[in-house]
Amino acid sequence: MEKKKSWMGWWKPFRIGQKLRLQVQKGEVDENRIDPIPEVYTEIQRLAGELKNAGRELEEYRRAASVAAEALQRVQRTRDANRRQHRRVVQEKDRLIEEIKRLKLQCETYQPAVKRMSDKYKAVSKQILKVALERDKALLQGDNPAARQDFSHHR
């Protein structure tokens, strides 16, 4: 079974370069005896670092975009709920305005009847008052002492 080649295969010379650098720093290998690491490998190292940073930034941007998308959805749901509530309030207001108009018309139809009843009440009250006054006058003018007693008794 053949071993799969890693995409990191190009990285091996760099790792070897790192080992050599460490050996030189420790003093295990003489710096003058080894060839300098080609600039290609240092360029690869720099580009790999940039790629890693770009990957981190990409992930951060994705998370930020996800958070922003969730916030946008919440705001849109709230906006839609407020719109529905506004429509319900407007419908209720219109219904109440129509109800008020209907009740005003109904009240206007009662006005003549109320006025007629009020006039009748005033007329009957005046009539009762006149009858009571006439009765009182008749009692006072008459020779009937019992009636006078009744009259004084009523007051």
List per-residue pLDDT tens for the chain, 155 residues long.
445 444 444 444 445 566 767 777 777 766 666 666 667 777 888 899 999 999 999 999 999 999 999 999 999 999 999 999 999 999 999 999 999 999 999 999 999 999 999 999 999 999 999 999 999 888 888 755 555 565 555 55
Contact 10, 44 (CB under 8 A): yes
The reply to whether 119 falls in a domain is yes
Task: Tally the domains of the chain.
Answer: 1
Measure CA of the first residue to CA of the last residue in the chain; give whole Å: 133
d(C-alpha 29, C-alpha 51), whole Å: 32
Indicate the pTM of the whole model: 0.46
Instruction: Report yes or no on 5 lying in a domain.
Output: no
Token output for 102: 């209907």
HSE value, Cβ hemisphere, 13 Å, CA-based, for 148: 6
Which domain does 89 fall in, by range?
10-154
Measured CA to CA in angstroms, residue 42 lies from 13, 25, 54 at distances of 10, 17, 18
